[in-house]
Amino acid sequence: MTVVVAPEELQPAHAEMIKATLPLVGAHIDAITSSFYKRLFAAHPALLRNLFNRGNQAQGAQQRALAASIATFATHLVDPNLPHPAELLSRIGHKHASLGVTADQYPIVHEHLFAAIVEVLGAETVTAEVAEAWDRVYWIMANTLIDMERGLYEQAGVPAGDVYRRAQVTARVDDPSGAVLVSVASDLDFGAGQYVSVGVTLPDGARQLRQYSLVNKPGDGQLTFAVKPAGEVSEWIRDNLRVGDLLDVTVPFGDLPAPTPGVPLVLISAGIGITPMIGILEALPADTHVQVLHADRSEQTHPLRERQRELVDALPNATLQLWYEDLMSLDGVQLPEDAEVYLCGNDGFVRAVRDQLLARGVTRVHSELFSPNDWLLS
């Protein structure tokens, strides 16, 4: 569920200053965010060890995501022809809530971000007026997220940031594709397509977090998620986790909307992007008209292949189409004009399929990405 908050606006003088300086900030945003993270982790090294994804940091993915979010937010804020950027933040809010982010962390980000801006652009460029305008942009963005996250915590019935629960592993299944299905005992409720964050302590003592989509039907007394062994947390789970172990798992979050009753459904995925689609299939009413499209390198690498087939076969009005080795092409695939589409996979796949859908006039597309810049596809 998306929490709606009243959007804040920029004052006219601030908006004009942002318009004038946005090209300059945009041209240097990668350097600004790189400096920001260096400053942040130098002052608060525990954040890199215990909150931020070290793999994304090393690859620069997190830096690019922050750069894109700031620039895009500011652009929407000053352009009356674009929707208010508060609408873009739902996915970030859910991701933050799943990580236990709290309001007191935003001033820390502000301190080091603005120090980085001055470092990169120079004090002679970042005048008091420029700083005031960008400060306003930051706090509109931050306050929107803070209010949204507060609402999400209230909906979950937990104090702000108190999202982790110690749960016992009740089952582990090694899928033929190499993915690992993990089930933990839990009476938590969740919606189809939602995810949990999982925290593990690695051999070097760092507590790293990853998010995994839930693939079981709500209400069966457990949370089941599929892990693709790529990255240090996922590989640790594959190599070490056993039935009976205790694992830190969060309250479920995620802003994929529930399918609209009576509307034809199309589920499109690639690779491990199949997981939220499995969760949606598990919860569909028997009379749903649904087309399932999936692409993978091969039948052997196709995660949850048998379960996907079982779920499709159990629905009288469901079809399944597969692409192996070849890129997914929607040419020749008949889609209902009023279809509601769910799309998940890596960045390149989602963008390519999304372009195909838009070219055909399909606009009701809900996208999910397992990467730091996923919110840009909201």
Give pLDDT tens digits for 138-160: 999 999 999 999 999 999 999 99
Of 59-73, 79-93, 308-322, the range with the lowest mean pLDDT is: 59-73
Number of alpha carbons in the 13 Å side-chain half-sphere of residue 223: 31
pLDDT of residue 7: 53
Read off the pLDDT band of 136 (50, 70, 90): very high
> Counting every residue, how long is the chain?
378
Q: How far apart are CA 132 and CA 125, in angstroms?
A: 13
pLDDT of residue 42: 92
- Using alpha carbons, select from 312, 376, 326 the residue that is nearest to residue 350: 376
Does the pLDDT value for residue 292 go beyond 50?
A: yes
Bridging pattern class, strands 207-213 and 265-270? unpaired
Does the pLDDT value for residue 298 go beyond 80?
A: yes
In this prediction, what percent of the chain has a pLDDT beyond 90? 70
Q: How far apart are CA 97 and CA 167, in angstroms?
A: 19
H or E segment to which residue 104 belongs? none
Does the pLDDT value for residue 374 go beyond 50?
A: no
Number of H helices, E strands in the chain: 12, 11
Does the pLDDT value for residue 378 go beyond 60?
A: no
Does the pLDDT value for residue 372 go beyond 70?
A: no
Does the pLDDT value for residue 352 go beyond 60?
A: yes
* Residues designated as active site: 106, 149
User: Residue 248: beta bridge partners?
Assistant: 166, 199
Of 21-25, 26-30, 210-214, the range with the lowest mean pLDDT is: 26-30
Read off the pLDDT band of 80 (50, 70, 90): confident
200: left (phi over 0), alpha (psi -120 to 50) or beta: beta
pLDDT of residue 55: 54
Number of alpha carbons in the 13 Å side-chain half-sphere of residue 210: 25
Question: Quick one: CA torsion of 57, 62, 67, 69, rounded to 10 degrees?
Answer: -160
pLDDT of residue 281: 98
User: Residue 320: beta bridge partners?
Assistant: 292
How high does pLDDT run on average in the chain?
Answer: 89
Read off the pLDDT band of 126 (50, 70, 90): very high
- Using alpha carbons, select from 215, 143, 207 the residue that is nearest to residue 175: 215
Does the pLDDT value for residue 201 go beyond 70?
A: yes
Q: How far apart are CA 318 and CA 109, in angstroms?
A: 47
pLDDT of residue 2: 44
Quick one: CA dihedral 161, 166, 171, 175, positive or negative? positive
Does the pLDDT value for residue 105 go beyond 60?
A: yes
Residues 6+ apart with CB under 8 A from 54: 48, 206, 208, 232
Q: How far apart are CA 192 and CA 255, in angstroms?
A: 10
pLDDT of residue 250: 96
To 10 degrees, what angle do helices 12-27 and 106-121 make? 70
In this prediction, what percent of the chain has a pLDDT beyond 70? 91
The tokens for 299 are: 């039948």
pTM tops 0.75, yes or no: yes
DSSP state of 362: -
Mean pLDDT of 327-336: 92
Read off the pLDDT band of 64 (50, 70, 90): low
Read off the pLDDT band of 58 (50, 70, 90): very low
List, in order of start, the domains of the chain with CATH numbers. 12-156 (1.10.490.10), 164-250 (2.40.30.10), 265-377 (3.40.50.80)
pLDDT of residue 45: 85
CB-based contact 211:195 (threshold 8 Å): yes
